[in-house]
Structure 1
Amino acid sequence: MRHLVRLTRRQVLWLLAGTLAGCALKPTATAPVPTPKPAEPTSTASAPTPKPVEPTSTSPAPTEPPATTGRSYLLAALKAPGFAAVMPESLNIKPAVKAYKTDPRAVLNQEDVLERFTPEQLKALEEWGFVITPSDEKQIYDIYIHARSMGLPVFVTTDALLHTFHILYDYTLRRVEYDHFVADLKGLMEAMLSASEAQAKEASALKSVAEAATRNMAFFAVAGKLLDPQARVPAAVRELVDKELALIQAHEGFGRSPIFGYDEDYSQYVPRGHYTRNETFERYFRAMMWLGRMMFRLRPGERPELIEMGRRETRQALLIVAALQNAKVGDEPALAVWERIYEPTVFFVGKADDLSLYEYSEVISRTFGNQLALDALADDARLDAFIQAARTLRPPKIVSSLVLDVENPAAVTQGFRFMGQRFVPDSYIFQQLVYDKVKGYQGQGKPFTMEPSLAGPVRAFPRGLDIAAVLGSERALEILRAEGDTEYDGYEEQMAKLRAEFAGLPPEQWTENLYWNWLHALRPVLEPKGEGYPTFMRSSAWTDKNLNTFLGSWTELRHDTILYAKQSYTIKATGLLPPPPKLPGYVEPEPEVWNRLLCLARLMRKGLGDRGLLDQEFAERLEGLENLVATLRDISLDELANQPLGEAQAKLIENIGSWLKAITTFEERTQKEITSAADERMAVVADVHTDPNSGQVLEEGVGDPLSLYVIVPGEGGTYVTVGGIFSHYEFKQPMSARLTDEAWQALEPKPPFAPWFEALVKPW
Structure 2
Amino acid sequence: MLHRPFAYSSPLACVLALGLALGGCSNVDQGSGSASGSGSDSDGSDSSALLDVEPDPWLTEVYKPVQEQASQMSVADFLAEYPTPAFLDAVSYDAMTAVGLPEIAAHVSMGPEHDKVLAQNGFVAVADPNGQNFAWTYHDLYYNDLPVLITTDSILYALHASFDAILMELEKSVMVDEIDKMLAEMHAQLASDLGGLPAGLEVSARDLDVYLAVGRTLMTGEPAATVTGAEAAMEVERILTAADALQPLDISLFGVDVTYDFSQLKPRGHYEEDPILQRYFKAMIWLGRTDMQMITFETDGTPVFNRRGLDAAFVTNLLLTGSGADARWGRVNKIIERLIGERDSMGPQDMVKFMAETGVASYGDLAAADDDALFKALAASPYGIQRIMSQIMFTDPTDPQIVLPRVFLLMGQRFTIDSYVFNNVTYDRVQDLRTGTKVTRMLPSELDVAFALGNNAAAPHLVPELDSFGYQGVLHELRFLIDAHPSDFWDMSFYNGWLAAIRALADAADFDQRPQAMRTRAWADKTLNTQLASWAELRHDTLLYVKQSYSGGNGCEYPDAYVEPAPAFYDKMVHLGGLGEAMADELIADGYAVDNVKTYFASFAGTMGTLGTIAHKELEGDALTQAEFDFLRGAVEQELVGCGEVLWDGWYVDLLYDYAKVDEFVPVIADTHTAPTDAVGNPVGWVFHGATGRPMHLVMTVEDCSGVRAFVGPVSSFHPVLTENYQRLADSEWRAEVQGGPQPRPAWASSFIPE
**TM-score when normalising by structure 1:** 0.77
How far apart, in 2, do the equivalents of 1:667 and 1:643 lie?
A: 35
Query: SS at 2:345's partner residue?
Result: coil
Residue in 2 that maps onto 1:137: 131
How far apart, in 2, do the equivalents of 1:308 and 1:467 lie?
A: 34
Establish whether residue 461 from structure 1 lines up as the match of residue 456 from structure 2: no
> CA 1:100/1:127 → structure 2, altered by over 3 Å: closer, same or farther?
closer
Establish whether residue 122 from structure 1 lines up as the match of residue 105 from structure 2: no
Query: SS at 2:427's partner residue?
Result: coil
Establish whether residue 400 from structure 1 lines up as the match of residue 376 from structure 2: no
How far apart, in 2, do the equivalents of 1:100 and 1:736 lie?
A: 46
Establish whether residue 600 from structure 1 lines up as the match of residue 576 from structure 2: yes
Query: SS at 2:373's partner residue?
Result: helix
| Alignment-mate amino acid for residue 380 of structure 2 | T
Residue in 2 that maps onto 1:470: 452
- The answer to whether the 8 Å contact 1:298/1:310 transfers is yes
Establish whether residue 345 from structure 1 lines up as the match of residue 339 from structure 2: no
Residue in 2 that maps onto 1:223: 215
> CA 1:114/1:428 → structure 2, altered by over 3 Å: closer, same or farther?
closer
Query: SS at 1:127's partner residue?
Result: helix
How far apart, in 1, do the equivalents of 2:219 and 2:429 lie?
A: 37
How far apart, in 2, do the equivalents of 1:409 and 1:216 lie?
A: 31
Residue in 2 that maps onto 1:199: 193
How far apart, in 2, do the equivalents of 1:411 and 1:314 lie?
A: 18
How far the C-alpha of 1:712 sits from its partner, in A, is 1.7
| Alignment-mate amino acid for residue 299 of structure 1 | I
| Alignment-mate amino acid for residue 700 of structure 2 | V
Correspondence list, 1:676-695, <5 A: 680-693=664-677, 694-695=684-685
**What's the % identity of the aligned pairs?**
27
How far apart, in 2, do the equivalents of 1:739 and 1:389 lie?
A: 43
How far the C-alpha of 1:148 sits from its partner, in A, is 2.4
| Alignment-mate amino acid for residue 244 of structure 1 | I
> CA 1:664/1:530 → structure 2, altered by over 3 Å: closer, same or farther?
closer
Equivalent of 1:354, from 327, 345, 355?
Answer: 345
Residue in 2 that maps onto 1:160: 154
How far apart, in 2, do the equivalents of 1:524 and 1:664 lie?
A: 20
- The answer to whether the 8 Å contact 1:133/1:707 transfers is yes
Count the aligned residue pairs: 630
How far apart, in 2, do the equivalents of 1:214 and 1:486 lie?
A: 49
Correspondence list, 1:736-751, <5 A: 736-747=726-737, 748-751=740-743
Residue in 1 that maps onto 2:526: 545
> CA 1:409/1:215 → structure 2, altered by over 3 Å: closer, same or farther?
farther
Residue in 2 that maps onto 1:249: 244
Correspondence list, 1:720-731, <5 A: 720-731=710-721
How far the C-alpha of 1:325 sits from its partner, in A, is 2.1
The C-alpha deviation readout for 1:688-738, integer Å capped at 9, x for no partner, is 001011311101101110110001234522211011111000121124320
How far the C-alpha of 1:413 sits from its partner, in A, is 2.2
The C-alpha deviation readout for 1:427-460, integer Å capped at 9, x for no partner, is 0011111112224899xxxxxxxxxxxx998200
> CA 1:308/1:178 → structure 2, altered by over 3 Å: closer, same or farther?
same
Equivalent of 1:623, from 589, 594, 602?
Answer: 602
> CA 1:490/1:175 → structure 2, altered by over 3 Å: closer, same or farther?
same
Which is worse superposed, 240-249 or 179-188?
A: 240-249
- The answer to whether the 8 Å contact 2:607/2:651 transfers is no
Residue in 1 that maps onto 2:691: 701
Residue in 1 that maps onto 2:654: 663
Residue in 2 that maps onto 1:278: 274
| Alignment-mate amino acid for residue 551 of structure 1 | L
How far apart, in 2, do the equivalents of 1:131 and 1:754 lie?
A: 16
How far apart, in 2, do the equivalents of 1:354 and 1:465 lie?
A: 27
- The answer to whether the 8 Å contact 2:184/2:216 transfers is yes
Query: SS at 1:552's partner residue?
Result: helix
Query: SS at 1:707's partner residue?
Result: strand
- The answer to whether the 8 Å contact 1:534/1:713 transfers is yes
The C-alpha deviation readout for 1:626-680, integer Å capped at 9, x for no partner, is 2211110000011111012222222222232343563266679xx6xxx8x9x92
Which is worse superposed, 194-203 or 504-513?
A: 194-203
Residue in 2 that maps onto 1:86: none
Which is worse superposed, 548-557 or 457-466?
A: 457-466
How far apart, in 2, do the equivalents of 1:758 and 1:105 lie?
A: 20
Residue in 1 that maps onto 2:294: 298
How far apart, in 1, do the equivalents of 2:38 and 2:443 lie?
A: 34
The C-alpha deviation readout for 1:75-123, integer Å capped at 9, x for no partner, is xxxxxxxxxxxxxxxxxxxxxxxx9844234323355256663222222
> CA 1:429/1:582 → structure 2, altered by over 3 Å: closer, same or farther?
closer
Query: SS at 2:711's partner residue?
Result: strand
**TM-score when normalising by structure 2:** 0.78
- The answer to whether the 8 Å contact 1:682/1:705 transfers is no
How far the C-alpha of 1:171 sits from its partner, in A, is 0.6
- The answer to whether the 8 Å contact 2:587/2:594 transfers is no
Query: SS at 1:695's partner residue?
Result: strand
- The answer to whether the 8 Å contact 1:439/1:488 transfers is no
Query: SS at 2:244's partner residue?
Result: helix
> CA 1:605/1:410 → structure 2, altered by over 3 Å: closer, same or farther?
farther
> CA 1:647/1:696 → structure 2, altered by over 3 Å: closer, same or farther?
same
- The answer to whether the 8 Å contact 1:168/1:618 transfers is no
Equivalent of 2:617, from 606, 625, 638?
Answer: 638
Unaligned runs of 5+ in 2: 1-36, 45-89, 552-556, 638-649, 678-683
| Alignment-mate amino acid for residue 612 of structure 2 | R
Query: SS at 2:161's partner residue?
Result: helix
The C-alpha deviation readout for 1:545-587, integer Å capped at 9, x for no partner, is 00111101111010010000000112xxxxxxxxxx9952110
Unaligned runs of 5+ in 1: 1-55, 64-98, 329-333, 443-454, 571-580
> CA 1:618/1:511 → structure 2, altered by over 3 Å: closer, same or farther?
closer
| Alignment-mate amino acid for residue 693 of structure 2 | G
Residue in 1 that maps onto 2:309: 313
The C-alpha deviation readout for 1:478-532, integer Å capped at 9, x for no partner, is 1010xx2113555122111112111211111122111111111111212346322
Residue in 1 that maps onto 2:373: 385
- The answer to whether the 8 Å contact 1:376/1:382 transfers is no
> CA 1:262/1:105 → structure 2, altered by over 3 Å: closer, same or farther?
closer
Query: SS at 1:354's partner residue?
Result: coil
How far apart, in 2, do the equivalents of 1:727 and 1:326 lie?
A: 51
How far apart, in 2, do the equivalents of 1:622 and 1:114 lie?
A: 37
How far apart, in 1, do the equivalents of 2:248 and 2:686 lie?
A: 10
> CA 1:665/1:302 → structure 2, altered by over 3 Å: closer, same or farther?
closer
How far the C-alpha of 1:616 sits from its partner, in A, is 4.1
Residue in 1 that maps onto 2:560: 584
Query: SS at 1:656's partner residue?
Result: coil
How far the C-alpha of 1:388 sits from its partner, in A, is 2.3
- The answer to whether the 8 Å contact 2:429/2:438 transfers is no
> CA 1:751/1:309 → structure 2, altered by over 3 Å: closer, same or farther?
farther
Establish whether residue 494 from structure 1 lines up as the match of residue 474 from structure 2: yes
The RMSD of aligned alpha carbons is 2.9
Establish whether residue 758 from structure 1 lines up as the match of residue 750 from structure 2: yes
- The answer to whether the 8 Å contact 2:201/2:367 transfers is yes
> CA 1:665/1:754 → structure 2, altered by over 3 Å: closer, same or farther?
closer
> CA 1:215/1:258 → structure 2, altered by over 3 Å: closer, same or farther?
closer
Query: SS at 2:735's partner residue?
Result: helix
